[in-house]
Structure 1
Amino acid sequence: MTDSQQPATNERERQFSVQRIYTRDVSFESPNVPDIFRGEWKPRHELNLNTKITPLDAHVYEVVLGVTVTVKVEDKTAFLVEVQQAGIFTAQGFSEEELGPLLGAYCPNLLFPYAREVVSDLVVKGSFPQLVLQHVNFDVLFAQQQAANQNQPAADAQPVH
């Protein structure tokens, strides 16, 4: 093999693996039972997502996907579910430009089905109709967050009128 046919060093050493996926924290609250069961069931759902990335060791990261679901009927909270689904991932040989989307979009995408299952199970065990969260495009969310972060310093520098 000639030098031009040799893969670049970082391509040969590029490794990604899932070491562990686990539920880090769970909370289910239903502050208005049993009264909430007595009325007409016309719920409004609110979904909030966040991601936290913590380096654990060289090339080892914990990624925590936070999922909060709030369901209200009129002005009363029917239930609130909070799940922190986490994973430990090894990512070696990736550039900084590649590492951001890998940890900020790809890993949350791997964690989301687990979090969705926990949410669904808790809601049913709370005696509410099954709630299955729709798929989330973490690539788009990551890109939007990156764009917002890039625009933030420029917005801060603008004079206020």
Structure 2
Amino acid sequence: MSEEKQEQPNRELSIQRIYLKDVSFETPNSPSVFQQEWKPETSVNMNTEVNTLSENVYEVVLNVTVTTKVGEQTAYLAEVQQAGIFSISGFSDQEMGAVVGSYCPNLLFPYVREAISDMVTKGSFPQMILQPVNFDALYAQHQQEQAKKVAENDSGQTH
């Protein structure tokens, strides 16, 4: 009966604010890049940061860098740091990792996509639309990599 009386913690997650923290757009080889045949190669680099602001209040920053090259020349480099302040409480440590490592970046991603698309278009390049990202899978992959590193460090130490 005592188990029945134990209540699940009251879980809360709310968005306090979503904002652009930093943005940069560079076209280091313009105008010559506009005179070349447009056969771009694009790479996307993405990561997240989590900062504790106060008890149960976190800043999550989604950092995205898009680099597009034509041949050896960089056509453009677009960097966006999209941030959000979230009130999060009632989650276990394991659940918190998933909330700030997957759920929050997933909420921020559409804002990053829009910012990059706008910058690229205003830079006079063909529209760039970032493809959807499976943040759950990326978070799971990150967790597996961390577990592997811990296991390697533990096996490398002598007791």
Which interval holds the TM-score relative to the shorter structure?
A: over 0.9
**Does 1:122 find its partner at 2:119?**
yes
Take 2:26 and 2:91, find their aligned partners in 1: how far apart are those partners? Answer: 41
TM-score by length of 1: 0.92
**Does 1:19 find its partner at 2:16?**
yes
Task: After TM superposition, list the pairs within 5 Å mapping 1:1-161 onto structure 2.
Answer: 8-10=7-9, 13-156=10-153
Runs of 4+ in 1 over 4 A off after TM superposition: 2-7
1:87-115 CA distances to partner (integer Å, 9 max, x unpaired)?
00011111101100001000000000000
Take 2:64 and 2:5, find their aligned partners in 1: how far apart are those partners? Answer: 44
Structure 2 unaligned spans of 5+: none
1:96-142 CA distances to partner (integer Å, 9 max, x unpaired)?
01100001000000000000000000000101010000000000000
Q: Percent identity?
A: 53
Shift of 1:83: 0.1
Letter in 1 for 2:144: A
Cα 1:132/1:7, change in 2 over 3 Å: farther
Q: Secondary structure at the match of 1:131?
A: coil
Equivalences, count = 156
Letter in 2 for 1:21: I
TM-score by length of 2: 0.93
Letter in 1 for 2:64: V
Please, what is the CA RMSD of the aligned residues? 1.6
